[in-house]
């Protein structure tokens, strides 16, 4: 039972114990793709083929921050290995151009770079055996804490995420975490915003699957000295 675990929340180091971290990240990511394929644009079959070097580069990539919730059974000593059970990724800071969507999306136009900082949140996932314990909320809080301490200026920070059409439970979860729906996006826009534009096939512009404006754009805004 999840209640029999102690949980730890942290940002994954880009330098310390990177090989081991990459193995754990890969394991949780592949579980997520296998158990909840509709939640992701990528597939288990494609990412299962990635090399160890790929996963290491993914964790150490500049402008990409990974946050994890790790679990330890209460019956085991502190020295035992922790199991990674939830994770999320932040991409940023993003430029005004990278954050801008067409006017038809309904998303507010970003401000100037010197006025606000922008991040894209993606890949939030919790293993089903550990859901219902508030892990996602606390993991998001850890990520926000990192952003508050990232630097002092600009004071205004915007965190955006995109949710596929039909995932109403995910939308409700993000609303509980403080995000507000501010517009709609296409699958192509979501993939590009999430740094996964390489998944777009040739000629995607003519395919309704990628160009239908049906996804949810959600935003959380805060001021560094008022969190």
Summarize pLDDT for 187-199 with one digit per residue, the tens: 999 999 999 999 9
- The answer to whether 220 and 180 are in contact (CB under 8 A) is yes
Q: Report pLDDT digits (tens) over 132-160.
A: 999 999 999 999 999 999 999 999 999 99
Cα 208 from Cα 18, distance rounded (Å):
40
3-state secondary structure of 145: helix
Residues 6+ apart with CB under 8 A from 58: 22, 25, 64
- Given a cut of 60, is residue 1 above it in pLDDT? no
How many structural domains does the chain have? 1
Residues 6+ apart with CB under 8 A from 67: 9, 10, 11, 12, 87, 88, 89, 90, 139, 142, 143, 146
- Given a cut of 90, is residue 75 above it in pLDDT? no
The model's confidence at residue 40, banded by pLDDT at 50, 70 and 90, is confident
Q: What is the CATH number of the domain that holds 181?
A: 3.40.630.30
Question: Considering just the CA atoms, what is the radius of gyration of the chain in Å?
Answer: 18
**pTM as predicted:** 0.94
- Given a cut of 50, is residue 2 above it in pLDDT? no
Q: State the pLDDT at residue 102.
A: 98
**What average pLDDT does the segment 86-99 reach?**
98
Q: What is the DSSP letter of 4?
A: G
- Give the domain extent around 85: 2-226
Instruction: Return the percentage of the chain with pLDDT > 70, whole number.
Output: 97
Q: State the pLDDT at residue 180.
A: 98
């Amino acid at each position: 039972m999840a209640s029999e675990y102690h949980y730890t929340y942290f940002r994954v180091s880009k330098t310390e114990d990177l090989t081991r971290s990459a193995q754990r990240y890969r394991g949780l990511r592949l579980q997520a793709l296998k158990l909840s394929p509709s939640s992701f644009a990528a597939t288990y079959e494609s990412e299962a083929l990635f090399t160890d070097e790929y996963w290491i580069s993914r964790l150490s990539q500049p402008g990409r921050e990974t946050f994890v919730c790790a679990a330890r059974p209460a019956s085991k000593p502190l020295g035992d290995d922790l199991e990674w059970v939830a994770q999320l990724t932040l991409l940023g800071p993003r430029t005004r151009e990278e954050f801008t969507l067409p006017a038809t999306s309904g998303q507010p136009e970003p401000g100037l770079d010197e006025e606000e900082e922008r991040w894209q949140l993606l890949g939030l996932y919790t293993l089903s055996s550990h859901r219902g314990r508030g892990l996602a909320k606390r993991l998001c809080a850890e990520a926000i804490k990192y952003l508050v301490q990232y630097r002092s200026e600009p004071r205004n920070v915007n965190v955006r995420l995109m949710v596929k059409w039909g995932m109403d439970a995910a939308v409700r979860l993000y609303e509980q975490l403080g995000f507000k729906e501010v517009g709609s996006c296409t699958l192509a826009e979501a993939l590009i915003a999430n740094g996964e534009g390489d998944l777009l096939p040739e000629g995607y512009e003519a395919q309704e699957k990628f160009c239908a404006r049906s996804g949810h754009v959600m935003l959380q805004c805060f001021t560094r000295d008022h969190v």
